[in-house]
Amino acid sequence: MGKLSLFPEQASTFAPGVDHLTYFLLAVAVFFTVLIFCSIFYLAIRYRRRSDRELPRVQHGGMALEIVWSVIPFGITMVMFTWGASVFFNESRPPDNAMPLYVVAKQWMWKIEHMEGQREINELHIPLGRAVRLTMASEDVIHSFYVPAFRVKQDVVPGKYSTIWFQPTKPGKYHLFCAEFCGTRHSGMIGWVYVMEPQDYQRWLSGGSPEGTLSESGEKLFTSLACSNCHKADGTGRCPSLEGLFGKTVQLANGAKVVADEAYIRESILHPAAKIVAGYQPVMPTFQGLVTEDGVLQLIEYIKSLGPKPVVGGGGALGKEGETPKSK
Amino acid sequence: MITAAVPERENYLNNAYGIKSWLLTKDHKRIGLLYLFTVTLFFFLGGAFATLIRIELLTPQGNFVSSETYNKLFTMHGVAMIFFFLIPAIPATLGNFFLPMMIGARDLAFPRINLLSWYLLVVGGLFSLFAMLAGGVDTGWTFYTPYSTTYSNSWVIATALGIFISGFSSILTGLNFIVTVHRMRAPGMTWMRMPLFVWSHYATALIQVLGTPVIAVTIILLFCERVFHIGIFDPTLGGDPVLFQHMFWFYSHPAVYIMILPAMGIVSELVSVFSRKAIFGYQFVAYASMAIAVLGFLVWGHHLFVATESVYSALVFSFLSYFVAIPSAIKVFNWTATLYKGSISFATPMLYAFGFIGLFTIGGLTGLFVAALGFDVHVTDTYFVVAHFHYIMVGGTIMAYLGGLHYWWPKITGRMYPEGWAKLSALIIFLGFNLTFFPQFILGYLGMPRRYHVYPDEFQVLHVLSTAGASVLAVGYLMPMVYFIWSLRYGKVAGANPWGATGLEWQTASPPPVHNFDVTPIVTHEAYDYSTVIGQEVEVG
Amino acid sequence: MASDAHVPAHAHAESPQLRVQFDTEAQQKDASTLGMWLFLITEVMFFGGMFLVYTVYRNAYPGIFAIASSSLNVYIGAANTAVLLCSSFTMVLAVRAAQLGQRNAIILFLILTLILGGVFLGVKAYEWNEKFQERHIPGSSFHFEGMQPDEQAHAQLFFSLYFAMTGLHALHMVIGVGMLLFLIRQAQKGKYSAAYMTPVDLGGLYWHFVDIIWIFLFPLLYLIDRHLKG
Amino acid sequence: MSEHIDSVKTYALVFAALIAATLGTTAVAFVDLGPFSVVVALAIAVCKMLLVALFFMHVRHSTRLTRLVVLGGLLWLLILLGITMSDILTRNWVGVPGR
């Protein structure tokens, strides 16, 4: 049996915020629970039946009282709502300079890909004090990425990307759980998040990535799938050039506009006919079944590396070589 | 020896004998008893699954049953308890039996449809039971796609069909109740004179009628997708698995109110009768039931906060969820205020009512926790949520159900239950319940995900406490089973109105005659006017 | 309201249709009508779930839905809509005949309704058969000419919904046909009169409701952006 | 309760209107109205529904309770469609996939 504690460790910038909210909720809950329990005890004993013929006076409800005990709880709940919503809203929007990582969930493992090419299974190494943004995909059923010590959780739904971010504040080893039931070995879909001092992380990174950076893998895949036959860099191919595409607004054939984000690129690889760029024919075949979710992520990373903006802003001292946009 | 002398008056139990007189009965009271029998079976079946789950969780290694078995156990626990126990438990047994009597009707509006509802529950139950015996189902009671449609290798279809069929049972019961309340009230029984039990069942019936069809069509689509692979929710065909969750929770969140509203109705009756005092703020309590039924339909998306629901949608759902808290709080405060200057008896049903108010308060307040977005992200799909809904479902619904069963037992059977044993079991249940589920709040906050067969060592202490509590709880639940059966033969013969209650059901014999009343009652007073029963007024306090 | 306390509990022997739980025939009719309307509301929610799925996917794949929809024969669809509206018209005349107590007219109009309902189902079966031959049945052998493989999936979603929605509608029609047969038989026995015609009335409500569902299915399934096809 | 018996003429007129609306909605579908073609198609369908409900189903003459039931049912349908779509249509508003 391990040691028992009543509060989980606080290891991310979110954790204190969530815990403060918890203290508030707890205080309200304890106050009302004690109030109701004590009232019942007191009233039940004070007014216990002493004779079988007893008949209490009829009391007519008090409008004022009803209003008081509707309005006060309502006010308190609105505080809860606002507080909870603001915590949530922060959790929803990763900062621009967050370090991107990719996660592919499948029955029953977490596959993590670093920009520099490192791959891990059921382990995630991240540097202390750096905001991390995970873009997650599932190959089969719904999973949920959950790190209790960070107080974050996000479902990973097949067919689309979901995002989670956090900024670790304490070095150590923390549980990673799958929180959405995903089949027989659901409880085996667990792992560890290692938060490392930046220099340790640097050392870990340089420990070797046999297959090159993520965007290099993407480039290899891009070539081997013959994407480059049509998507020519100078725009002379049958398909639009992908140079400088990522993050731009694309004009579609049906008149709509769409921002070229991860979801758009993923859709264009798997369902190319869904959104046709203005001025081009729907000639691209689908790559569904030909590329895995990992492969799609590598391709996206490659397309990102084609610019226009650097993949990671505010780079700092970390992982420079992987993040420098390729110039071709 | 107690029974002998007096020749028994004809009542609904002795007017006909034989299996056919039960299986073809159109008497709402007999149908209520058929339901009682059926849901009790499912309660103990679901309880058996729960026992196995708790035994497994004694150790973190998962060495009592395999993962497959464990997943099936918690799924079947959920299916049996939710669809075949909690949803029909109060409305179809006590509601069926007492709703017509309380409004002075001879029966429900559609007695044959009422019997059909019971058969549908039985057929649906048999389907699910077949699935459980044939190999079980392992999707969780929520049947999330694409696991349930594509990946699970268990008896999803049979179970889903069982739920589909039992859904019609629920719809027809609700439909019957609504029509009965509108059209069958005795002369003088105005809406504002109806007992709160009737009000809460009316609200419940609205949910059953408006919500259940959506789960029915969702199951049909699930069925089509699993059997014909046509890809309604299949992400590989461009379908949206989260759409399934929307449709599922459109019903399944209001379904929580199908379970708790009737329980609130029972508690309103109990608090009033055993304080011998009209419920404080009758109108507020009545309208609160309606408000819960309506608002309950606007909040389902709070189950999807981390399921890739849009941020804005999540904000709206969180906001709306807090509105449901207000009518619930109004009820708790009004019940408590009813005690003030009352004449409070500590009969067993009242102990259950106290238990309900306390546990429902905790369950409700922790509901405010999980409605707070930032908090929910951390605890959703953990034991915190498990603890929260067990406080509502077990601490709330089952406490009230048992309280109601004790309260009306003399009316149903004409016999009293043994008071001493009953008090003891109420106490055991209360203690066992808290020991079982309170540790789960802490487990959840520490990060223990639900539906885990194997778990990290540090959670073991709390799991052991929880399992210890569950064994106490099991003893508590078995006791009423034994003494209720015992009382059928040996219990003290009950009079027409042993509690000094005002409801019309107490103005007729125990057990009631076939058509409830020898003479159609004419109502001239508000509900809960105890001067009509007790006579003289004595100042209390 | 404290008149005489002796409303007898079993005062219903005079009328054979009055059931034991009711005091008067008006109460019984009111209860049945309310029950039927509530049942129809459950049907609204039942079909509502499917309309929801339809809305979500049409919103997601408007272009493919338009192309897939254009493979349905709009003239057959419109004609079938007219057939169903006709059947509603004859049904309402049957109800009217019942209100007036014209027994032969009830039978006549019910039979006409039955025939029109049968025609509708026959046409539906013909259309399904056509879809079957065109390999527009969702499943592994689904194929829609002139579409990219990944569009096939979305077109399949359209046809999944097409078959689910028209299939469940047809199932309701079949139930309606069974109901009509029952009503005709009872009417032949002379069960219905101006004083007692609740079953005919309720049958009418059901039949019209099924008609209303089709009134929505027709434009949603058959009439998406027809102009594209030119 | 007094039965209202409508004349055959009323019913025939309603029936004619329904047929006309069917022809109308079919014809309009071939006209390019852009995003409004759905709106028009649904508006015509709603009109047809009202005709059937009010006349053929006698909602015109029915009790307030029946009307309440009908309106309640439609309101709940709108809740189901509206609230679900409010999620679907606001996805990605913050520009973060999955949010």
Closest CB to C149 among A254, A274, A285: A285
List chains adjacent to chain A, taking adjacency as at least 3 C-beta pairs closer than 8 Å: B, C, D
- Say if CB A119 and CB A212 are below 8 A apart: no
Q: Do A203 and A224 reside in the same domain of the chain?
A: no
Residue of chain C with shortest Cα separation from A270: C150
Which token pair is B361? 């308060």
CA diameter of chain C: 80
B292-334 pLDDT, tens digit each? 999 999 999 999 999 999 999 999 999 999 999 999 999 999 9
- Say if CB B151 and CB A107 are below 8 A apart: yes
List chains adjacent to chain B, taking adjacency as at least 3 C-beta pairs closer than 8 Å: A, C, D
List chains adjacent to chain D, taking adjacency as at least 3 C-beta pairs closer than 8 Å: A, B, C
Per-residue confidence (pLDDT) for residue A110, from 0 to 100: 95
Percent above pLDDT 70 for chain A: 91
Percent above pLDDT 90 for chain C: 67
Per-residue confidence (pLDDT) for residue B535, from 0 to 100: 63
B330 touches chain C (CB under 8 A): no
Distance CA A141, CA C214 (A): 36
Task: Name residues whose C-beta falls within 8 Å of residue C221's C-beta, 6 or more positions apart in sequence.
Answer: C69, C72, C77, C161, C162, C165, C166
Span C92-120, mean pLDDT?
95
In a domain, C15, yes or no: no
Per-residue confidence (pLDDT) for residue B331, from 0 to 100: 96
Closest CB to C5 among B238, B247, B519: B519
CB atoms within 10 A of CB B312: 16
pLDDT mean across residues, chain B: 93
A13 touches chain C (CB under 8 A): no
pTM of the model: 0.91
> Token match 């709603």: residue?
D46
A51-110 pLDDT, tens digit each? 888 888 887 768 899 999 999 999 999 999 999 999 999 899 899 999 999 999 999 999
> Are residues D22 and C78, on separate chains, in Cβ contact within 8 Å?
yes
Residues in chain C within 8 Å Cβ distance of D5: 96, 99-100
Closest Cα to residue A304, out of A115, A96, A157? A115
**pLDDT band at B3, cuts 50/70/90?**
very low
Rg (CA), chain C: 23
Per-residue confidence (pLDDT) for residue C14, from 0 to 100: 53
Q: Which of residues 26-65 of D touch B (CB under 8 A)?
A: 65
**pLDDT band at A323, cuts 50/70/90?**
very low
Distance CA B262, CA B90 (A): 6
**pLDDT band at A210, cuts 50/70/90?**
low
The C-alpha of A311 sits at a distance from chain D's nearest C-alpha, in angstroms, of 15
Bridge partners of residue A124, in order along the sequence: A193
Residue of chain C with shortest Cα separation from A269: C150
Amino acid (1-letter code) at residue B296: G
The C-alpha of D38 sits at a distance from chain B's nearest C-alpha, in angstroms, of 22
Residue of chain B with shortest Cα separation from A151: B378
pLDDT exceeds 90 at position A6: no
CA diameter of chain B: 75
Span B22-46, mean pLDDT?
96
B424-475 pLDDT, tens digit each? 999 999 999 999 999 999 999 999 999 999 999 999 999 999 999 999 999 9
Distance CA B400, CA B204 (A): 15
Q: Do A221 and A192 reside in the same domain of the chain?
A: no
Q: How far is CA B146 from CA A140, A162, B138, B151, C52, in A?
A: 8, 17, 13, 7, 19
Per-residue confidence (pLDDT) for residue A253, from 0 to 100: 79
> Are residues B322 and A80, on separate chains, in Cβ contact within 8 Å?
yes
Last residue of a domain, one of A210, A243, A265: A210
Amino acid (1-letter code) at residue A46: R
Residues in chain A within 8 Å Cβ distance of B330: 66, 69-70
> Are residues B230 and C53, on separate chains, in Cβ contact within 8 Å?
no
- In chain B, domain spans: 19-534
Residue of chain B with shortest Cα separation from A77: B322
In a domain, C183, yes or no: yes
Residue of chain D with shortest Cα separation from C48: D77
Q: What domain range includes position A198?
A: 8-40+66-210
In a domain, C11, yes or no: no
Candidate from A114-118, B398-402, C111-115, C184-188 with smallest mean pLDDT: A114-118
Q: Which of residues 99-118 of C touch D (CB under 8 A)?
A: 99-100
CA diameter of chain A: 99
Interface test with B, best of A26, A34, A49, A74 (most B CBs within 10 A): A49
Per-residue confidence (pLDDT) for residue C185, from 0 to 100: 96
Domain with residue C57: its CATH number is 1.20.120.80
Closest Cα to residue B3, out of B489, B530, B515, B526? B489
Residues in chain D within 8 Å Cβ distance of A157: 98
- Say if CB C64 and CB C224 are below 8 A apart: no
B182 touches chain C (CB under 8 A): yes
Residue of chain C with shortest Cα separation from A287: C150
Interface test with B, best of D67, D70, D80, D94 (most B CBs within 10 A): D80
Residues in chain A within 8 Å Cβ distance of B368: 25, 28-29, 77, 80
Q: How far is CA A174 from CA A186, B56, B447, B510, C204, in A?
A: 18, 25, 11, 63, 66
**pLDDT band at A136, cuts 50/70/90?**
very high
Closest Cα to residue B179, out of D64, C29, C179? C29
In a domain, A80, yes or no: yes
Distance CA B480, CA C36 (A): 40
Closest Cα to residue B308, out of A101, A106, A132, D97? D97
Per-residue confidence (pLDDT) for residue A4, from 0 to 100: 65
**pLDDT band at A208, cuts 50/70/90?**
low
- Say if CB A95 and CB A130 are below 8 A apart: no
- Say if CB A104 and CB A258 are below 8 A apart: no
Span B398-414, mean pLDDT?
96
B376-388 pLDDT, tens digit each? 999 999 999 999 9
Which token pair is B339? 């005690």
pLDDT mean across residues, chain C: 89
Closest Cα to residue B370, out of A31, A29, D20? A29
C30-66 pLDDT, tens digit each? 999 999 999 999 999 999 999 999 999 999 988 889 9
Per-residue confidence (pLDDT) for residue B398, from 0 to 100: 96
Q: Do A12 and A153 reside in the same domain of the chain?
A: yes
C171 touches chain B (CB under 8 A): no
Closest Cα to residue A291, out of D91, D95, B148, C150? C150
Q: What is the 3-state secondary structure (H, E, C) of A46-69?
A: HCECCCCCCCCCCCCCCHHHHHHH
**Residues of D at the A interface (Cβ-Cβ below 8 Å)?**
92, 94-99
Span B329-346, mean pLDDT?
95
Domain B19-534 falls under CATH 1.20.210.10: yes
Residue of chain D with shortest Cα separation from B317: D83
The rounded Cα A243 to chain-centroid distance in angstroms is 28
Per-residue confidence (pLDDT) for residue B28, from 0 to 100: 96
Q: Which of residues 224-243 of B touch C (CB under 8 A)?
A: 224, 228-232, 236-240, 243
Element (H, E) at B226: helix B196-228
Distance CA D44, CA D28 (A): 10
pLDDT exceeds 60 at position B539: no
In a domain, A327, yes or no: no
Percent above pLDDT 90 for chain B: 90
- Say if CB C134 and CB C228 are below 8 A apart: no
pLDDT exceeds 60 at position A319: no
The C-alpha of A16 sits at a distance from chain B's nearest C-alpha, in angstroms, of 12
Residues in chain A within 8 Å Cβ distance of D98: 136, 154-155, 157, 160-163
Count chain A–chain C contacts defined by CB atoms under 8 A.
24
The C-alpha of B534 sits at a distance from chain C's nearest C-alpha, in angstroms, of 21
Answer with the residue of higher pLDDT: A317 or D55.
Answer: D55
Q: What value, to the nearest 5°, has the Cα angle with vertex C149 and ends C61 and C69?
A: 40
**pLDDT band at B1, cuts 50/70/90?**
very low
User: Could you give the 3-state DSSP secondary structure of residue B163?
Assistant: helix
pLDDT exceeds 50 at position D34: yes
Last residue of a domain, one of A184, A210, A236: A210
In a domain, C19, yes or no: no
- In chain D, domain spans: 1-62, 64-99
In a domain, C220, yes or no: yes
Q: How many domains does chain C have?
A: 1
**pLDDT band at C148, cuts 50/70/90?**
confident
Which token pair is B506? 């107490």
Answer with the residue of higher pLDDT: B310 or B228.
Answer: B310
Per-residue confidence (pLDDT) for residue A312, from 0 to 100: 41
User: Could you give the 3-state DSSP secondary structure of residue A172?
Assistant: strand
**pLDDT band at A316, cuts 50/70/90?**
very low
> Are residues C219 and D12, on separate chains, in Cβ contact within 8 Å?
no
Span A23-43, mean pLDDT?
96
Helices (H) and strands (E) in chain B, counts: 18, 0
Per-residue confidence (pLDDT) for residue B7, from 0 to 100: 59
Q: How far is CA B438 from CA B366, B426, B442, in A?
A: 11, 18, 7
Residues in chain C within 8 Å Cβ distance of B113: 35
Closest Cα to residue B509, out of B13, B121, B153? B13
Q: What domain range includes position C122?
A: 38-228
Answer with the residue of higher pLDDT: C229 or B409.
Answer: B409
Residues in chain A within 8 Å Cβ distance of D97: 135, 160-163, 261-263
